Amino acid sequence: MVEDLPGAPSSQSWIAGAVLGSWVFLVLVLAAVIVTIIWVNIKLYKRRENYEQLANNNAVNNVT
Protein backbone atom coordinates (compact mmCIF):
# COMPACT_ATOMS: atom_id res chain seq x y z
CA MET A 1 0.00 0.00 0.00
CA VAL A 2 1.35 3.42 -0.94
CA GLU A 3 1.63 5.88 1.93
CA ASP A 4 -0.48 8.99 1.48
CA LEU A 5 1.31 12.30 1.79
CA PRO A 6 0.37 14.24 4.91
CA GLY A 7 -2.25 16.86 4.14
CA ALA A 8 -3.02 15.36 0.72
CA PRO A 9 -6.37 13.78 -0.02
CA SER A 10 -6.45 10.00 0.28
CA SER A 11 -6.23 7.86 -2.84
CA GLN A 12 -9.92 6.96 -2.53
CA SER A 13 -10.98 10.59 -2.71
CA TRP A 14 -8.68 11.13 -5.70
CA ILE A 15 -10.41 8.24 -7.49
CA ALA A 16 -13.85 9.51 -6.46
CA GLY A 17 -12.97 12.98 -7.71
CA ALA A 18 -11.72 11.62 -11.01
CA VAL A 19 -14.86 9.53 -11.50
CA LEU A 20 -17.11 12.45 -10.55
CA GLY A 21 -15.16 14.79 -12.81
CA SER A 22 -15.43 12.43 -15.75
CA TRP A 23 -19.20 12.09 -15.19
CA VAL A 24 -19.60 15.87 -14.99
CA PHE A 25 -17.56 16.24 -18.20
CA LEU A 26 -19.68 13.59 -19.93
CA VAL A 27 -22.92 15.28 -18.85
CA LEU A 28 -21.67 18.67 -20.06
CA VAL A 29 -20.67 17.21 -23.43
CA LEU A 30 -24.06 15.52 -23.81
CA ALA A 31 -25.86 18.74 -22.86
CA ALA A 32 -23.82 20.68 -25.44
CA VAL A 33 -24.63 18.10 -28.13
CA ILE A 34 -28.36 18.20 -27.32
CA VAL A 35 -28.44 22.01 -27.31
CA THR A 36 -26.56 22.10 -30.62
CA ILE A 37 -28.98 19.62 -32.22
CA ILE A 38 -32.00 21.63 -31.02
CA TRP A 39 -30.43 24.91 -32.22
CA VAL A 40 -29.67 23.46 -35.67
CA ASN A 41 -33.20 22.08 -35.96
CA ILE A 42 -34.69 25.47 -35.09
CA LYS A 43 -32.45 27.16 -37.67
CA LEU A 44 -33.41 24.63 -40.35
CA TYR A 45 -37.11 24.91 -39.44
CA LYS A 46 -37.03 28.71 -39.72
CA ARG A 47 -35.16 28.48 -43.03
CA ARG A 48 -37.77 25.99 -44.33
CA GLU A 49 -40.57 28.34 -43.25
CA ASN A 50 -38.88 31.17 -45.17
CA TYR A 51 -38.60 29.01 -48.28
CA GLU A 52 -42.25 27.98 -47.99
CA GLN A 53 -43.27 31.62 -47.63
CA LEU A 54 -41.17 32.56 -50.65
CA ALA A 55 -42.74 29.71 -52.62
CA ASN A 56 -46.22 30.84 -51.60
CA ASN A 57 -45.43 34.45 -52.59
CA ASN A 58 -44.08 33.29 -55.95
CA ALA A 59 -47.19 31.16 -56.52
CA VAL A 60 -49.44 34.14 -55.73
CA ASN A 61 -47.36 36.43 -57.95
CA ASN A 62 -47.44 33.93 -60.81
CA VAL A 63 -51.22 33.58 -60.59
CA THR A 64 -51.95 37.30 -60.65
SS (H, E, C) 12-51: HHHHHHHHHHHHHHHHHHHHHHHHHHHHHHHHHHHHHHHH
In a domain, 19, yes or no: no
Tens-digit pLDDT profile for residues 7-36: 666 677 878 888 898 999 999 999 999 999
Range of the domain at 52: 31-64
Confidence of residue 61 (pLDDT cuts 50, 70, 90): confident
Domain presence at residue 53: yes
Res 64 pLDDT > 70: no
Q: pTM above the 0.75 mark?
A: no
Beta strands per DSSP E along 1-64: none
Residue 49 lies in a domain: yes
Please report whether residue 21 resides in a domain.
no
Residue 28, phi-psi category: left (phi > 0), alpha (psi -120 to 50), beta (remainder)? alpha
